Chains A and B, each alone.
Chain A
C-alpha cells in the first residue's frame, strides 16, 4: 500500500514536471518570437475583441505554430499546459489498473470522460 502510493506519486510528479517544463520551454520560444516582432508596439487589451483568427481552435493553433508564428507557438504551449492535468488523470488510471485497484480505475476513467466531454464542448 505504502509502496504503491510512492510509485504513483513518483509517476504523477514526473508527469507534472515534464508537462510544465515542455510547455514553459515552448512558451519561451513563442514569446521571444512575439516580443522580437511586436515588442515595441503598444498593447491594446482595454476592449474585448477576441483573439486573432486561428488562435481559438486546436487546428488553427497547430497550423500557425508550424509556420513559426510567435503567438501561435505560445498558444500551443498553453495546450500542452492544459493537457498536463488531463494526462495525469489518464496515467493515474493506468497506475491504479496495474495495482488491481478497480474502484480507483473507475473513478479516474469517469473523471477523464467528463473532462473530455467538457473539452469537446469547447475547442473540439
Chain B
C-alpha cells in the first residue's frame, strides 16, 4: 500500500482508539497495537512506539477537558504518580531479571478476574463512607461533577493499597510497554472506591506521565517512526477530544460495561502475544 493510503487508514483507526481510550481511561494502545500488527503488518516494535504516542496523545487531548470539568482528581493523581514513576523505573531496571512472558500471563489473569468481578451486581456504594486517614491528610477527597451541573462529594478509601497497585502498574508499563491504564482504573475504581468517571479521568491524566517516562528509551531505540506516529497522533487527538465531550453525559453503567469488554479484549491480546512469544 502507498504511504498516503496507509496514513489515511491509520488515522481513521486511531480516531477510534482515541475515542475508546478517553472514555475508558486506558489510553488507546490496546487498539493501536493489534490494528498496526494484524491489519497493516507493522513490526511489533514500531507498533509499540506508535502505542506510546497514542497514550500520550489521549492523555493530553482528553485531559484538558477532564481537568476543566473537574472529573480529574489532580492531587490524587500527583500523589499516585510517585508510585507509577518509581514502578516504571524499577520495571525498566528489572526487565533483565523478570520473564516478561510470565508477567504478561499473570497480568491477563488479573484482568480477567477484574472483568468477572465487575460483571457481578454492584452493591450501591455509600459515597460518603469514612475516608482513609491519609486521604484527609493529603486532601484527596473530592467532588464528582454531575450532568445536571451539580456535584456529589466522594471520599478516597484504601490509599496504601491503591498506592501499591499503582507501583505495579508503573512496573508493568516499564516491562511490557502497554496495559498500565487498566490497572490504574482498577486501583482507583475497585480499591480506592472513586466514582467511575473520576477513575477514568484520573487514570487518563496519569498515563501521559507514565508513558513520558519511557518515551526517551523508545525514541533512542528507534521504535518511534514519524511516518506511523503522524497519523496515530492526529487521529488519536481528534478521537480523544470527541471522547472527552461524551464522558460527562454518558451513563456510568455503559462506561463500566465498555471498560469490562475492553479489559477482556486486552487480556486475550496479552495471552495471544505471550503464546506467540512476542514478549
Chain A residues proximal to chain B, CB less than 8 Å: 1, 5, 8-10, 12-14, 16-17, 19-20, 23-24, 27-28, 30-31, 34-35, 38-43, 45-51, 55-57, 70-72, 74-75, 77-78, 81-86, 89, 92, 103-104, 107-108, 110-111, 114-115, 117-124
Taking a contact as CB atoms under 8 Å apart, the answer to whether A92 and B78 are in contact is yes
Taking a contact as CB atoms under 8 Å apart, the answer to whether A9 and B209 are in contact is no
Chain B residues proximal to chain A, CB less than 8 Å: 1-4, 6-7, 36, 40-46, 53, 56-57, 59-61, 63-65, 67-68, 70, 72, 74-75, 78-79, 81-82, 85-86, 88-89, 92, 138-139, 208-209, 211-222, 224-231, 233-234, 237
Assess A84 versus B227: contact at CB under 8 Å? Given A107-B79, A117-B89: no
Main secondary structure of the interface of B (DSSP, over half): helix
- The interface centre, meaning the residue of A46, A85, A92 with most chain B CB atoms within 10 A of its CB, is A85
Q: When chains A and B are docked, how far (Å) is the Cα of A124 from the Cα of B59?
A: 24
Q: When chains A and B are docked, how far (Å) is the Cα of A119 from the Cα of B6?
A: 31
Taking a contact as CB atoms under 8 Å apart, the answer to whether A43 and B227 are in contact is yes
Closest to B44 in A: A48
Closest to B228 in A: A45
Collect the chain B residues with CB atoms within 8 Å of residue A115's CB.
Answer: 85, 209, 212-213
Main secondary structure of the interface of A (DSSP, over half): helix
Collect the chain A residues with CB atoms within 8 Å of residue B41's CB.
Answer: 45-46
Taking a contact as CB atoms under 8 Å apart, the answer to whether A31 and B85 are in contact is no
Q: When chains A and B are docked, how far (Å) is the Cα of A103 from the Cα of B136?
A: 13
Assess A45 versus B40: contact at CB under 8 Å? Given A71-B226, A75-B224: yes
Give me the 9 closest cross-chain CB pairs, A-B, nearest first: A122-B216, A50-B222, A85-B208, A74-B226, A39-B4, A31-B230, A16-B64, A122-B217, A45-B42
Taking a contact as CB atoms under 8 Å apart, the answer to whether B234 and A114 are in contact is no
Assess A86 versus B212: contact at CB under 8 Å? Given A41-B2, A48-B46: yes
Other than A24-B237, A45-B42, A104-B75, give 19 A-B pairs with Cβ distance below 8 A. A9-B67, A10-B68, A12-B74, A16-B61, A28-B234, A30-B226, A34-B3, A34-B226, A43-B2, A45-B46, A46-B43, A50-B222, A55-B219, A55-B224, A86-B209, A107-B79, A118-B85, A122-B214, A122-B218
Taking a contact as CB atoms under 8 Å apart, the answer to whether B216 and A123 are in contact is yes
Taking a contact as CB atoms under 8 Å apart, the answer to whether A40 and B2 are in contact is yes
Collect the chain A residues with CB atoms within 8 Å of residue B86's CB.
Answer: 114
Taking a contact as CB atoms under 8 Å apart, the answer to whether A13 and B67 are in contact is yes
Taking a contact as CB atoms under 8 Å apart, the answer to whether A20 and B7 are in contact is no
Collect the chain A residues with CB atoms within 8 Å of residue B237's CB.
Answer: 20, 24
Query: Among the listed A8, A47, A51, which residue makes an inter-chain contact with B43, where contact means beta carbons less than 8 Å apart?
Result: A47
